[in-house]
Every structure is written in C-alpha cells, then in structure tokens.
Copies of this chain bind each other. A is one copy, B any other.
Amino acid sequence: MNQPQKDPKREKAYDCWLAYRRLEDSVANRYQAICSEIVVMGQSAIMDMAVEELKRGLGGILGIEPRILYGSADVRALALGMDIECLAIPVKEVEALSHDGFIIMGQNGGILIAGKSERGVLYGTFSFLRSMQTGMSPDTLNRIENPAAGIRMINHWDNMDGSIERGYAGNSIFFRDNQFISDKDSVRDYARLLASVGINGVSINNVNVHDQETRLITRELLPEVALLADIFRSYGIRLYLSINYSSPIDLGGLSTADPLDGTVQDWWCQKASEVYSFIPDLGGFLVKADSEFRPGPFTYGRTHAEGANMLAKALEPFGGIVIWRCFVYNCQQDWRDRATDRANAAYDHFMPLDGEFKDNVVLQIKNGPMDFQVREPVSPLFGGLKKTNQILELQITQEYTGQQRHVCFLIPQWKEVLDFETWCDGPGSTVKNLVCGKVYPQKHCGFAAVSNIGDNANWTGHILAQANLYGYGRLVWNPDLSSETIADEWVRLTFSNDPEVIETISKILLKSWETYEHYTSPLGIGWMVNPNHHYGPSVDGYEYSAWGTYHRADWLGIGVDRTVATGTGFAGRYHKPNAEMFEDMNKCPEELLLFFHRVEYKHRLKSGKTLIQHIYDTHFEGVEEAEKFRTRWLSLKGKIDKERFDAVLERLEIQIRDAREWRDVVNSYFYRKSGIPDEKGRRIY
C-alpha cells in the first residue's frame, strides 16, 4: 500500500479528472473554431493560472494552441476577465454573481468566462473545460454559478514524519522525515486538482498536533509553510494550520495555556502577528481540543467558548478565523456504564455555548454524533446551534468505509446528510441550508472534509476513490447536484464519454455505499471493526473498550437504547418530529434501527424478515454485489487503459475477499450468539 512511487506522473491515474483527453467529434470542431484565440482581460497570479489551464485544456481536448491576447472582449473568441462592466454583461446577471461565482455566456459568437474575482474566473475556466470534456455543446454553456458557501475546505491529517493518520494512499505530499519535501510538484498538481472543483481552503497538518507539528508556527518552520501557502494561493486556496492548544507551554515556555491568563493571551497575539508576517492571508487555525488526549481549555476549568475566543481575538486583526472541532467526548468510558452515551457528547458540550463564540470562530461538526461510521444519524448540533458559525465535517478518507481498498462512493451518504431536514426552523431547515447560512445568519459557514490523498501515484490508492475527492468539491460548491450527476461527470472526465463506460462505472459507484453497508455493520450500529487500524471485521472489537462504542449484543438481541423513555436520551436531542421518529421503534428509519433501539433477533422488520434473517441476508447479498462489481468491471476490458483497468480490478478482488470475511465473521458471530439458523440454510460457521 505505502510504497512510494518513483515517478508518479508517468502513471495514467495521476492526472485524475484533469487528463484533458482528446475529443474528435462535431462538438469539438465547434469549440476549435471559437477557441483558437483567448482574450484575457485583467491580469493576476490566479488569472495566469486560469490562462495556463485553458492552454493545457484546449491543447489536450482539442489539440490546439490558442493565441493569447490581452485586451478587450470585443472579439469572436474565448474571453475571460474580471472587469464585469467592460464585458457588457447584463446587470441582472452581474447582480446574481457572488464573490467566488462565475458566469459563462455566449457573446458575439464567442464565449465569455467572467467573475467578480480572479478566483471566480479560475472556477469558471475549470467549469468551462469540464463542460467541453464531458461533451456539452457550446450552445448549452450559458450559466451563472455561485458556490453554496464561503468555506470549502480540505483537512489533512498529515504528520511531519511523513505518515498520514487514517491515510490509505501512501505518505504525505507535504512532509517527510520531519522536514518539508523540497520538491513541490505534487503540491502544485494537488492545488490544481482542488481548485478545479472549487476548494478554497486547506489545512496541511493533522488535527492531532504532535511535537514537531507544534513547531509549524515558529520562525524556524514558517518560511517553509509560506512556500506551501504561495502555491495554494496561486490557485485561490488559503492555507490553514492545525495548532496545539498548549503551544504557550510547549513553545513559549509559559507555565500555563489557560485562555483567561493574560500572558497566554499576549503570547497568542504575538504569535498570530508573527505567523501573519510570514503568511498574510493565512486562513486561520484549526483546533482539536480536549479530545482523545489533546490539551484544551478543560485543563484550566474553562469552556470551549473561552478557549476558542481567546485564539479568535488573536487572529481577528489579521482576518483569520478559528475553526474549532466539536469532536469532544470521553474516550475513557467504562463499557459497563450504560447511562453515559458518546452520541450525546458533542451536543451536550456545545449546545450550552451557543451564542458565546466570537464571530470569527467556526464550529466544525462531524456529520454524525459518533465518528464517520458507514451509517449514522445526523448530528443534532445541526439545527441545535442557532447563533454559532458552523461547518459540516465529512471524511473523504475511507477510515470506516473500506480504506480505499474497497470502492465506496460517499456522495450518496453525504447527500443524505445534506438533505436531512432538522425542522429547527420549520421545513427547509436542512443541513445544507444550515451550513450554507440560509437558515440562521452566519458570518462564516460551509464545509470541511478529511483528505483521502497521499503520495501514491494515483493519489487515492483506489482509483475509484478519486471520485470522492472530486465529488466532495462539486457537492460543496453545489449541494443540489445529484449523486448521479457527479458520478456521470467524474466518469466522463476520468475515463470516457462512452455510454457503456459511464453506465457501468456509475452503477458501481452509486451502489457501492449500500453494498459496503450490506456486508459490514448492520442497521446503523457501527463499530464492528478491528481496534486501532479499523480495517476488517471484529464484532466485539470495541465492545469492551473505553471508546464509548458498543452494540450490547447478547443471546436475545442487539442495539443501543438511545430513547428518552428508557435509554440514554439521545433521541430527544432532535427537534420534533425527528425526536419522535427516532424515539419510536416503529417509526425509526430502519437503517438506523440499532442505533436508537435495542431489538430482539426475532423482531420482524417492515420487510417481514426477522432482524437476524435481515443480518444474514444482507451479508450474503453484500458479497454477491461486490462480486458483481468485478463482473461489471471486467465488461469494460479494452475500453479502459490496461494500467487503470488492472489497478481497479486488483482492488475489486481484494474487496470480494474481504467482503466474504466480513460476511462470515458477522454471520457466524450472530449465529453463535443467537443459535438461530439461517432460514435459507446457507453456510455459517
């Protein structure tokens, strides 16, 4: 897995969705006519990148080398620029455009790509190239697009020793052996990939900030950080740093990191001033505090609001923000204790603080109350918090979803989260509307997600996992895009416009999350993985642990009673009617049944099957589905280059092998516990 590649760029998969594959059809001919000249209005570093990208894209897709003119748009050509007035764009359209948005429109027989900002122009350029590559006619390009929210961020969990926490695609592209990697080519290519889907922020180091990474905010390492910031900036991306809350002690030699201590406050103010002297547009700090043994304000008897606001005050003069993670819970719980519920933790920690955070603090909230399981309910902090900036945290890296050995297209999962109706302010109070600031006013809002890339030649280990990075960017730009649209786009850009290729790969992608769920952990209970590395099945792996992650299976049944009436009360953290829905075993969505209820194996589901039979059936089905992925993929032989065809096939084989292991372990576990045989008499061990 972690073998570094000699020259990754030689691999086909390295280009991802920006390969700019030659098109030779009537549509291509029409673009050729228009795109032989590019008229550029305005100049800046980011505009330069847009022009470079156009040259690259047109060269690749159309095989032409366009002439670049700097001047007015009054030509029949491809024109791009920021000077909206000179571009003769109707007022209505100009008004509809937000800062990062873009407009693409036909004008004088040419095509205009415009934005109010250079970033907008860059996004428009990538969007235009995408349209061309996916085979859209020039007639259908006209559109205005604005991103759904201001923060569209990637979090790296990279350590300076080069390892990546929960990384499944090799080592860091930023760090090696506690140094910065001097060759920045990969970083540049990565920034381009991110910008192409509208990402505008990246935190480069693990939220678990160890000794060496603590020093990223020192004069010794800041010049190196600044070099990375320069690269990302040229693609419109702001760099963020994860910081160690006890830096005043570790770096400053102070005896405390108490946020209410004047010397600590002064230290951070001076530190911010120093950091911004190197990187004037640093996005800000990302903080994991008081979680999983990380230091934080609790050490000093302070609240997280006090802790975050102190940092926010230090960053305020420089326009920086503090992104504060809500992943706070007791990771030394006693498994015997059935009253304490980790699911309640983030809600109970942060709800009392709603309204107490400064306006340059943003809470980063994981999609679910636990930790990126294959299936969880939405965190009740969404719809709970009303007076707090918030962003949704997703996990692109497949920690609990197959670790990029298994295909698991996560967009459908994220769509469910985004479309979840919280009812906090009547209908329409969906998660997507909340984190886009449409329900409650927020100065900062949006999205963050944990990166799935590393220094593997194909970036993501599994080539099909590139679709998750692509899809994340597309989805947070426009949460209304369907999973189908995103899959279709990605396959077209990455492989081919051949309908058979599109259909085959899209089908695999769109089915894959369900399939993964089928052969792993049933009905929302989660956590049946091997401890620590989290790969492969271990039904009791976390059952007697301190991590607050239990299924409570016995000879009669399984599940956690999280009702208000008889359980941990978690169901009551939601607004009506969600609270009532989760509370009632008969109304609770069945895919979350075991998350909210303890259920006997003989309980009949809506399908008429017993719970135990459902477990058996889905596990057999999951393997059959994984086997179908291979069959489908094999049907594409000859339609996809051998290199990528073989690489994906190899992973699909691994997935089948592992899915069988999951099936047999989970089924055997429940058979051995319940004594209830499979109705269909299949082999259980």
Contacts of A11 in B (CB 8 A): none
Known: A336-B685, A544-B665, A665-B544. A674 touches B539 (CB 8 A): no
Contacts of A540 in B (CB 8 A): 538-540, 669
**A356 interfacial by beta-carbon distance below 8 Å:** no
Within 8 A of B (CB), among A508-538: 530-531, 537-538
Report yes or no: A555 in contact with B685, Cβ–Cβ below 8 A.
no
**A553 interfacial by beta-carbon distance below 8 Å:** yes
**A556 interfacial by beta-carbon distance below 8 Å:** yes
Report yes or no: B336 in contact with A554, Cβ–Cβ below 8 A.
no
Contacts of A336 in B (CB 8 A): 664, 685
Distance between Cα atoms of A539 and B544 in the complex (Å): 10
Contact of A672 among B538, B673, B675 (CB under 8 A): B673
Q: Please encode chain A, from 16 to 56, with 1 for each CB lying within 8 Å of some chain B CB and 0 for all others.
A: 00000000000000000000000000000000000000000
Q: Is chain A's interface secondary structure helix, strand, loop, or mixed overall?
A: loop
**A668 interfacial by beta-carbon distance below 8 Å:** yes
Contacts of A335 in B (CB 8 A): 685
Distance between Cα atoms of A105 and B561 in the complex (Å): 77
Contact of A674 among B538, B555, B665 (CB under 8 A): B555
Within 8 A of B (CB), among A652-676: 661, 664-665, 668-669, 671-675
Within 8 A of B (CB), among A628-685: 661, 664-665, 668-669, 671-675, 685
Q: Please encode chain A, from 197 to 227, with 1 for each CB lying within 8 Å of some chain B CB and 0 for all others.
A: 0000000000000000000000000000000
Contact of A544 among B531, B537, B556, B675 (CB under 8 A): B537
Contact of A555 among B538, B665, B668, B673 (CB under 8 A): B673
Name the residue of chain B whose CB is nearest to the CB of A685: B336
Report yes or no: B544 in contact with A668, Cβ–Cβ below 8 A.
yes
Contacts of A671 in B (CB 8 A): 554
Contacts of A675 in B (CB 8 A): 554-556
Listed residue (A531, A537, A554, A556) with the most chain B CB atoms within 10 angstroms of its CB? A554
Contacts of A553 in B (CB 8 A): 672
Distance between Cα atoms of A105 and B661 in the complex (Å): 69
Chain B min CB distance to A671 (Å): 8
Name the residue of chain B whose CB is nearest to the CB of A335: B685
Known: A336-B685, A544-B665, A665-B544. A672 touches B555 (CB 8 A): yes
Name the residue of chain B whose CB is nearest to the CB of A665: B544
Contact of A554 among B544, B665, B672 (CB under 8 A): B672
Listed residue (A335, A530, A540, A661) with the most chain B CB atoms within 10 angstroms of its CB? A540
Contacts of A544 in B (CB 8 A): 537-538, 661, 664-665, 668-669
Chain B min CB distance to A19 (Å): 40
Contacts of A669 in B (CB 8 A): 540, 544
Contacts of A672 in B (CB 8 A): 553-555, 673
Distance between Cα atoms of A540 and B555 in the complex (Å): 16
Within 8 A of B (CB), among A536-563: 537-540, 544, 553-556
Distance between Cα atoms of A335 and B684 in the complex (Å): 12
Listed residue (A335, A537, A553) with the most chain B CB atoms within 10 angstroms of its CB? A335
Chain B min CB distance to A531 (Å): 8
Distance between Cα atoms of A672 and B674 in the complex (Å): 10
Distance between Cα atoms of A237 and B486 in the complex (Å): 72
20 further A-B pairs in the complex, CB-CB below 8 A; given A336-B664, A544-B665, A554-B675: A335-B685, A336-B685, A530-B531, A537-B544, A539-B540, A540-B669, A544-B661, A544-B664, A544-B668, A553-B672, A554-B671, A554-B672, A555-B555, A555-B672, A555-B673, A555-B674, A555-B675, A556-B675, A672-B673, A673-B673
Listed A/B pairs (16) with beta-carbon separation below 8 Å = A335-B685, A336-B664, A336-B685, A538-B544, A540-B669, A544-B661, A544-B664, A544-B668, A544-B669, A553-B672, A554-B673, A554-B675, A555-B672, A555-B673, A556-B675, A673-B673
